[in-house]
Amino acid sequence: MGLIFDIIDSVLSSNHEPANIGFNQEAWDIFNEEFARALDADNFEKAEALITLYYKNNETEKDFYFYWYRAITYVRWLESFAPSLEKEAVTKLQQKAAKALRQAAKLANDGNPYDGCVSDVEELQERFEKVANEWNDLLSETYKNQHQTELDKLIEQHDFIQANSVLEEYYNRPSNEINVDYYYYKTFIQFKLFCEIPVDSDNLSSSKQALDEILKQYGIVCKEQNDINTFLFVKQRVHSEEADKEIGRLLRDGKYKKALDVAQDYKKNEPEDEYEYYSKIRWIYQWQWEGTPVYWKNYTHIENQVIESYNDWQNYCTTDDELDYYNHCYNEDFLRVKNEKEKEKKEWSKSASEYRQDTTEEGSLVIGNDGTSDNMIDDSSFPSESLYKQEVLLILQDGSIGDVERKFLERKRTKLGLTKEQAQKIEASCTVSLTDDEQEYVSIYRDLVEDGEPTGRLRKMLDREAEALGLSPERVSEIERIL
């Protein structure tokens, strides 16, 4: 290996002070030869040690070549291994290279050790600046990736407040200019926050306003085609979710036609998104179908609309994810409701059959061919008193209790096992004079409320109907107590 490497190996292995080999031309030549070999092998640690060892053992003053060789070593080291080194190691090498280049440039300008040394130093300085810039870009990209990974994790965990804090902290740094990435994440975080808000929340409107504002700013900064494509995708998702929120609010209030209008508006704004449009149509029809009693005249029409909407939706499923979601909704929602409705039809058919048997001679109720009636009540889960009250209310809604109706009620009383005193008490509680609007409310109430006290969405629907009919809360409470 030569004398210099023998000494270097000895120093590296035992850390003892090397012997003084003296200063002569042969040592200089050996040093240059071994130094060049170390650089060619990318063995920069040995190249650095060779420089230190040579100048120490030969008691030579640190001249131009000392700094020049060190500058070459550190720049080559950075060029070869900077991306794979730790940040601290690269920073240390950059500091050593900058110091060596400053000293080499000064000595080159002062003494001109050889022809062209000044331009060589300048060329090496340019290489150093290039590798330093590349490293800074890499560091910035690495930090950016780490930052985005952290954001993605927080968003996945639904920690949107912390995600927004991390985003703002990152872009508040002078080195990080606000750009399209900032607006992408800002929009996405606000979008996720909006998705979490219930349709009946007081914060829904303000959240939508904030989302629309940041979406507008996001669209302004998008210049490259890839960024524009991403923006259009995000915009479509935002518009879809905003439409879903509005549709959900309208369905909660039983306003199906207005919900369909919202879906139509979405189609106008996003004409190419047929999948989401028909998904919304299916959702609206299914919600209406699920809340429609099987005895209503338009029930079959509503059921057919649901089936047709599922077929339309399936035709626009173009990806595996879309088809998987369609199958999920069909199996979990459509088949579930269909089975419930089939069961409901059988129960109503049985009830209608019994009702027809009791009323055929009197002719007090017209039963359809399918065994259903517009006014029929499911009494399978009510106690005897409640069942009798329902029959009395049904008759009173259509008029008064005449001879025919009395015969029917007497037969019903006997069948339910009630005494005459009990029946009279029940009838007395039902004999309230009802206006047309109050009778309309009774009809709505009996159609919607199957058992127990109406709460939640159903309560709000009834309150709105009562308000539309001009009924006071006190009058509504009185009517419902009777019911």
Asked if the model's pLDDT at residue 208 lies above 60, the reply is yes
Report the length, in residues, of the chain: 483
Q: Whose CA is closest to 377, among 399, 354, 357? A: 354
Give the pLDDT of residue 320.
93
Q: What is the pLDDT of residues 387-416, one digit of tens each?
A: 787 778 777 666 667 777 888 888 888 877
Domain locations in the chain?
Answer: 3-140, 178-264, 273-376, 381-482
Asked if the model's pLDDT at residue 11 lies above 60, the reply is no
**If you average pLDDT over residues 107-118, what whole number do you get?**
82
Give the pLDDT of residue 281.
94
**If you average pLDDT over residues 21-32, what whole number do you get?**
72
CA–CA separation, 388 and 320 (whole Å): 54
6 pLDDT band, cuts 50/70/90, is very low
Q: Which long-range contacts (CB under 8 A, 24 or more apart) does 136-143 make?
A: 138/82, 138/83, 139/87, 140/175
Give the pLDDT of residue 360.
46
Give, rounded to a whole angstrom, the gap between the first and last alpha carbons of the chain.
Answer: 107
Asked if the model's pLDDT at residue 482 lies above 90, the reply is no
**If you average pLDDT over residues 197-214, what whole number do you get?**
88
H/E segment holding residue 473 = helix 473-482
Give yes or no for a contact between 335 and 326, defined as CB atoms under 8 angstroms apart. Answer: no
Give the pLDDT of residue 368.
35
Asked if the model's pLDDT at residue 129 lies above 80, the reply is yes
351 pLDDT band, cuts 50/70/90, is low
Give the pLDDT of residue 14.
34
Highest mean pLDDT among 18-22, 71-75, 287-291, 294-298: 71-75
Give the pLDDT of residue 213.
94
Q: Residue 249's Cα: distance from chain center in Å?
A: 19
**If you average pLDDT over residues 221-240, what whole number do you get?**
92
Give the pLDDT of residue 371.
36
Asked if the model's pLDDT at residue 80 lies above 80, the reply is yes
Give the pLDDT of residue 61.
67
Give the pLDDT of residue 366.
35
Give yes or no for a contact between 72 and 124, defined as CB atoms under 8 angstroms apart. Answer: yes
Q: What is the pLDDT of residues 244-296, one digit of tens each?
A: 999 998 888 888 889 999 999 999 999 989 999 999 999 999 998 988 877 67
Give the pLDDT of residue 422.
84
Give the pLDDT of residue 406.
85
Give the pLDDT of residue 431.
57
Asked if the model's pLDDT at residue 17 lies above 80, the reply is no
231 vs 135, higher pLDDT: 231
263 vs 375, higher pLDDT: 263
pTM exceeds cut of 0.75: no
Give the pLDDT of residue 450.
66
Q: How far is CA 315 from CA 273, 324, 325, in A?
A: 13, 13, 13
Asked if the model's pLDDT at residue 51 lies above 80, the reply is yes
Q: How far is CA 441 from CA 294, 325, 400, 444, 448, in A?
A: 20, 39, 18, 5, 11
CA–CA separation, 465 and 380 (whole Å): 27
201 pLDDT band, cuts 50/70/90, is confident
Give yes or no for a contact between 265 and 243, defined as CB atoms under 8 angstroms apart. Answer: yes
The first and second tokens of residue 19, run together, are: 């012997």
Q: Which residues contact 111 (CB under 8 A, 6 or more apart)?
A: 64
**If you average pLDDT over residues 100-106, what whole number do you get?**
91
96 vs 482, higher pLDDT: 96
The first and second tokens of residue 138, run together, are: 């890499």
Asked if the model's pLDDT at residue 188 lies above 70, the reply is yes
- Counting residues of the chain whose pLDDT is more than 70, the rounded percentage is 82
**If you average pLDDT over residues 34-58, what whole number do you get?**
88
The CA angle 457-458-461, to the nearest 5 degrees, is 90
Alpha helix ranges (H) inside 41-86:
44-57, 64-81
Amino acid code (one letter) for 366: V
CA–CA separation, 211 and 205 (whole Å): 10
CA 349, 354, 360, 363 torsion-angle sign: negative
Q: In the chain, what's the furthest Cα-to-Cα distance?
A: 138
**If you average pLDDT over residues 422-434, what whole number do you get?**
72
7 pLDDT band, cuts 50/70/90, is very low
175 pLDDT band, cuts 50/70/90, is low
Q: What is the pLDDT of residues 59-72, one digit of tens each?
A: 556 788 889 999 99
The first and second tokens of residue 325, run together, are: 């979601």
Give the pLDDT of residue 367.
33
CA–CA separation, 162 and 145 (whole Å): 18
374 pLDDT band, cuts 50/70/90, is very low
Give yes or no for a contact between 251 and 199, defined as CB atoms under 8 angstroms apart. Answer: no
